[in-house]
Structure 1
Amino acid sequence: MSDTPVGALLVNLGTPRGADYWSVRRYLREFLSDRRVVDLPPLMWRPLLETLVLTVRPLRSARAYRAVWNDERDEGPLKTITRAQAERLAARLSPQGVVVDFAMRYAGPSIGERLHSLCAQGCERIVVLPAYPQYAASTNASVADEAFRVLMTMRAQPALRIAAPFYDDPAYIDALATSARAALAALEFEPEVLVASFHGLPQAQIDRGDPYRRHCETTFELLRTALCLPPERMRLTFQSRFGRAQWTGPYTASLVRELADSGVKRIALLTPGFVADCLETMEEIGVELRHSFLAAGGEKFARLPCLNDSHDGISALESILRRELAGWLG
C-alpha cells in the first residue's frame, strides 16, 4: 500500500458566480452548451440558445437566485452546502490519509482546478463522487467526461475512479428515511400526501437508454417502503420541465394542482434526487409550488430539506466514499 494520500472529490452541478443577469447568463451558457445536457444538433441549438434562451432565461433565473443567495459568502446555497459537506467528510476521512475537496461541474471551483490541487498535494489515486444519486448522462456522465478531459492534459496522471450512482444504497435510503421522519415530526400539521419530486429529463433521453427514470423509481419505492407509506400517501413526480418536448412525468406542478383540486389540503414535498439544497429545491419547490398549491385551494404546504451537511447525510456520503475507496485505504 502506497504512503501517498488518496484524494476524494465531491462534485455537484454548479452555481453562478453572482446573482446578477450577466453572471447567470455566463453560467447558463456553459451549462446549456454541454452536449450531455442538451443533445440537440449544435446547428439547431446554438442559434436558439444565443438569441432566445440566453436573452430571456437569465432575467428570471437571476431574480430567483437573489431570493436564495448567501449574501454573507456571496455565493449560491449549493456551493455553500457542498463546501460544508466536503469539510465534514474531511474531518472523518483525513485521519486515514484521505484529502477531501469539492468542485462544481459548471462555474467554479472547476473539476480541473481541484484535480490539479489534489495532485499537487501528493494524491496519486483519486475518487470522483458525482453528487447525483440517480445516474443520468446529463449529470454523472458529464462529470466523468470533464474529469477525463482534464487527465488528457496531464503528463503524470493519477489513478482515477468515478463513483457509482447510489440511488439504491442502503446508507442513502436510511439517511433519507431518517431525515424525512424527523422533518415530518417537526411539522405543525400531518400531510395527507407526501410528494417525492425528482428533476425531470426529456423523455427522448430516457428512450435512448438513459436509466435515470428507473433509478428514480427504485429510490422512490425503497424510501416509501422505509417510511411505511401506502401508494396513495406517497407520490412520485418530476419537476423542472423546459421547452415544448415531452419530459418524464407525471409533472410535479401538475400533480400539486390536481391534489388541491381534488380536495387535498395538506401536503409535504421532498426531493430525493438532491443531496444538497439549491435554487431548484428552495425556490422552485419551496416558493413557486407552494404558491401554486395554496392558490389552488390547499391550506398547508411544507418543503422538507435535503440531507445537506446533516449528521445522517454526511454518514451516508462517508459510507459511499469508503465503498469506493476500497483497496486504497490502509
Structure 2
Amino acid sequence: MKQEKTLLLVNFGGPRSLEEIPAFLTSLLTDQEVIRTGLPSWLHRQIFTRVAKKRSTVVSGDYAKIGGKSPIFEDTEALARALSEKLGIKVISFHRYLPSTHADFIKRVQETTGELIVLPLFPQFSYATTGSIALFLARHLDASRMRWVASYATHPGYIAAMQNLLKEYSRGDETFIYSAHGLPKNFIETGDPYQRQCIQTFEAIQEGFPDADHLICYQSQFGKSEWIRPHTRDVCAEPESFLPGCRKAVIVPLSFTSDHIETLFEIEELYLPPLREKGIEATRCPALNRRPEWIEALADIALNSSYLSTQMLLRRPQLAG
C-alpha cells in the first residue's frame, strides 16, 4: 500500500485585519529565535508584549494604507489549494505568527497518518524563520514523521520563476536593486547561512540578466544591534554612492515570496520615494505570490528527494522536547 503523504506549507503569517495586529506582533516579538535578548523567557515575553502593544499603534496606520490587512494569509491558502490539486495530496497551511490558527493546524495534522513533508515558503534558510518553525513543530507534533525542506535558494524552478518575473520589468537599461530581509550581524557570525544563501540566489537570478547593473541590500532592520549591510534605506537615500549613473531602478523583493507589509508599504512608501526625488525612475517588482511557475517550482521541490531531509535544523535543540 502506498504510504499517505501530507504537505505542510509553512509561512510567516500576517494579520487578517487591523484588530489582529497586536496578537501578530506579540507572537513575533516574543519569539526568542527572532529577538535574541538572552533573557529568561518569562521576562522576554513580558518586555516584548509591551513593545508589541506600543508598536501595534504605529503599524496600524501602515496596514491601513495597504487595505487594513496583510495579503500573505490569503496567498498562502491559495498556494495550498493549488498544490493540493496539482500533487493530489492533502496540503495543510501553517501561519507561524497567527496564534489563533495554531490549535486548528495542530488538530488537522494530528488527524493525518503517514509522512509529513514540511515546505517553508522561505527559499533561504535562517534560524529566525525556518528554524523557528522547526522548533514550534518539534514541540507540538511528532517530528519522527517529518521530512524537511530546509532551503532551496538555487532551485532551477525557483530561479526561473524569478527571472521570468523580472523580464516583465526589464527594458535593458535599468538597475536591479535586490532587497532581502535583513538579519542582525551576530546571527550570521554565529553560523546562520541566510546571507550566504541570499547571495547565491541573487547571483543565480542575475545570470539571466548579464548586462544589467545590480546590487543586493537588506531591509526591515529592528532594534539597536548592528545588521548586515548595505541597508536598502541607505542605498535608496544615497543612490549616487551605491548606484552611480543610475537613471532607472527596479526594487526586487529577493527573500520575500509573498507580498506583505514589507513590500507593499516599506518598499513603496520608504524606498521608492527617495529614489524618485533624485530623478530616478523607480519601480517595485512584486513577489512571486501565486504565479503558476512558482506553484510548479514548489510542487517539484515538495516531492524532490534531493531537497528532503529528516534532520530538523534547530539552534537550540534542547527546547524541542
TM-score (norm 1): 0.84
- Which residue pairs with 1:287 in the alignment? 269
1:28 Cα deviation (Å)? Answer: 1.0
1:10 Cα deviation (Å)? Answer: 0.8
- Which residue pairs with 1:278 in the alignment? 260
Q: Which deviates further from its counterpart, 193-202 or 282-291?
A: 282-291
Unpaired runs of 5+ residues, structure 1, are none
1:195 Cα deviation (Å)? Answer: 0.4
1:147 Cα deviation (Å)? Answer: 0.9
Q: How does 1:217-228 map to 2 (within 5 A)?
A: 217-228=199-210
What CA distance in whole angstroms lies between the structure 1 residues aligned with 2:76 and 2:85? 14
Equivalent position to 1:90, from 84, 92, 95: 84
Q: How does 1:125-144 map to 2 (within 5 A)?
A: 125-144=115-134
1:123 Cα deviation (Å)? Answer: 3.2
Aligned to 2:183, the other structure's residue is in SS state coil
- Which residue pairs with 1:245 in the alignment? 225
Deviation string for 1:54-100 (max 9, x for gaps)?
Answer: 34321221111122236xxxx52000111111111111011xxx111
What CA distance in whole angstroms lies between the structure 2 residues aligned with 1:101 and 1:229? 42
Equivalent position to 1:42, from 39, 44, 60: 39
What CA distance in whole angstroms lies between the structure 2 residues aligned with 1:255 and 1:228? 21
1:176 Cα deviation (Å)? Answer: 0.8
Contact 2:125 2:194 in 1 (8 A): yes
Q: How does 1:21-60 map to 2 (within 5 A)?
A: 23-42=20-39, 45-46=44-45, 48-51=47-50, 53-60=51-58
- Which residue pairs with 1:16 in the alignment? 15
What CA distance in whole angstroms lies between the structure 2 residues aligned with 1:172 and 1:301? 25
Residues 80 and 90 of structure 1: CA distance in aligned 2, closer, same or farther (over 3 Å): same
What CA distance in whole angstroms lies between the structure 2 residues aligned with 1:326 and 1:119? 24
Q: Give the counterpart letter for 2:73 in structure 1.
A: K
Aligned to 1:195, the other structure's residue is in SS state strand
Aligned to 1:197, the other structure's residue is in SS state strand
1:46 Cα deviation (Å)? Answer: 4.9
Q: Report whether the alignment pairs 1:320 with 2:306.
A: no
Q: Give the counterpart letter for 2:11 in structure 1.
A: N
**Aligned-residue RMSD, C-alpha:** 2.4
Q: Give the counterpart letter for 1:319 in structure 2.
A: D
- Which residue pairs with 2:318 in the alignment? none
Aligned to 2:237, the other structure's residue is in SS state helix
Aligned to 2:167, the other structure's residue is in SS state helix
- Which residue pairs with 2:290 in the alignment? 309
Aligned to 1:179, the other structure's residue is in SS state helix
What CA distance in whole angstroms lies between the structure 2 residues aligned with 1:111 and 1:234? 40
1:165 Cα deviation (Å)? Answer: 0.4
1:45 Cα deviation (Å)? Answer: 4.6
**Identical amino acids, percent of aligned pairs:** 27
Q: Report whether the alignment pairs 1:178 with 2:172.
A: no
1:18 Cα deviation (Å)? Answer: 2.2
Residues 123 and 132 of structure 1: CA distance in aligned 2, closer, same or farther (over 3 Å): same
1:299 Cα deviation (Å)? Answer: 3.7
Aligned to 1:137, the other structure's residue is in SS state coil
What CA distance in whole angstroms lies between the structure 2 residues aligned with 1:325 and 1:107? 31
1:254 Cα deviation (Å)? Answer: 0.5
Aligned to 1:133, the other structure's residue is in SS state coil
1:27 Cα deviation (Å)? Answer: 1.5
- Which residue pairs with 1:101 in the alignment? 92
Equivalent position to 2:175, from 193, 202, 214: 193
Aligned to 2:223, the other structure's residue is in SS state coil
Contact 2:177 2:250 in 1 (8 A): yes
Contact 1:111 1:147 in 2 (8 A): no
TM-score (norm 2): 0.87
